[in-house]
Amino acid sequence: MLVRRIARPLLAAPFVYGGVSTLRKPQDRVPGARPVVEKIADTADKQLPVQLPRDVEQWVKVDAAIKVAAGSLFALNRFPRLTALVLSASIVPTTLAGHRFWEHDDPTEQFGQISNFLKNTGLLGGLLLAAVDTEGKPSVGYRTRRAASRAANATEKNFAQAQKRAAKAQRRTERRLKKKSR
């Protein structure tokens, strides 16, 4: 559909541009990302048997690379549902790290942060819609259930036919035995 061909690159553009920009100068994003990375690392250290790296700049670069790769694939309509899901997961920590409007006292600065926060939540909404968009085709779950149902029906039909053939063969054998016994 033409709308999808136009909408996907438009939805992917901020991610690709932001990712490339961040890869060029990751140190600009480190201060904002530090609290989020520390919180994620602390939580993960308590729940996982391994420790996550705490190098904030490394996390920023990885996130930017994910945005560039997934955004490019999404714009090119390659794995659109998966890439939309990846971008959705990527935008949440970015929004929490970059647009902490509740920490600002200046009304002008707070308004800008709220505006960007809401912009990112709007992008998240669009990505979630894209992640569940089957392009008019039945979902994988539906196709799987239908294939399983068809396989079960075919198996039952084949089993019934095999039973009929076996019963027919048995009757023929019984007739032959009766003829021989005469």
In this prediction, residue 50 carries a pLDDT of: 86
Range with the lowest mean pLDDT among 42-46, 90-94, 115-119, 178-182? 178-182
Judgement on whether residues 40 and 14 belong to the same structural domain of the protein: yes
Count of alpha carbons within 13 angstroms of residue 102, beta-carbon side:
3
The residue type at 49: P
Strands (E) located in the chain: none
Q: For residue 153, what are the domain limits?
A: 138-182
Instruction: Examine the pLDDT at 182 and tell me if it is beyond 80.
Output: no
Residue at which a domain ends, from 132, 147, 166: 132
Judgement on whether residues 142 and 108 belong to the same structural domain of the protein: no
The residue type at 32: G
DSSP line for 61-85: HHHHHHHHHHHHHHHTTSSHHHHHH
In this prediction, residue 104 carries a pLDDT of: 87
Cα dihedral sign, 39-40-44-50: negative
Residue 99: CB atoms within 10 Å: 21
Judgement on whether residues 93 and 155 belong to the same structural domain of the protein: no
The mean pLDDT value for 43-51 works out to 88
Judgement on whether residues 69 and 104 belong to the same structural domain of the protein: yes
What's the mean per-residue pLDDT of the chain?
A: 92
CA-CA-CA-CA torsion for 53, 56, 59, 63, nearest 10 degrees?
160
Q: What is the Cα–Cα distance from 64 to 66, expressed in whole angstroms?
A: 5
Judgement on whether residues 94 and 172 belong to the same structural domain of the protein: no
* Span 71-107, pLDDT tens digits: 999 999 999 999 999 999 999 988 988 888 998 899 9
* Span 139-180, pLDDT tens digits: 778 889 999 999 999 999 999 999 999 999 999 999 998 888
Report yes or no: 71 and 88 within 8 Å, Cβ to Cβ: no
**Distance of CA 108 to CAs 113, 114, 115, Å?**
9, 10, 11
Query: Rounded to the nearest 10 degrees, what angle do helices 107-132 and 80-98 cross at?
Result: 160
Judgement on whether residues 22 and 51 belong to the same structural domain of the protein: yes
Instruction: Examine the pLDDT at 55 and tell me if it is beyond 80.
Output: yes
In this prediction, residue 179 carries a pLDDT of: 86
14: pLDDT confidence band, cut at 50, 70 and 90? Answer: very high
Query: Any idea what DSSP says for residue 138?
Result: P
Percent of the chain with pLDDT over 90: 69
In this prediction, residue 136 carries a pLDDT of: 79
Judgement on whether residues 55 and 79 belong to the same structural domain of the protein: yes
Judgement on whether residues 127 and 156 belong to the same structural domain of the protein: no
Judgement on whether residues 101 and 15 belong to the same structural domain of the protein: yes
Judgement on whether residues 176 and 111 belong to the same structural domain of the protein: no
In this prediction, residue 143 carries a pLDDT of: 85
Residue at which a domain ends, from 132, 151, 171: 132
* Span 17-26, pLDDT tens digits: 999 999 999 9
Judgement on whether residues 37 and 114 belong to the same structural domain of the protein: yes
The structural domain count of the chain equals 2
Token pair belonging to 139: 């979902």
Judgement on whether residues 59 and 87 belong to the same structural domain of the protein: yes
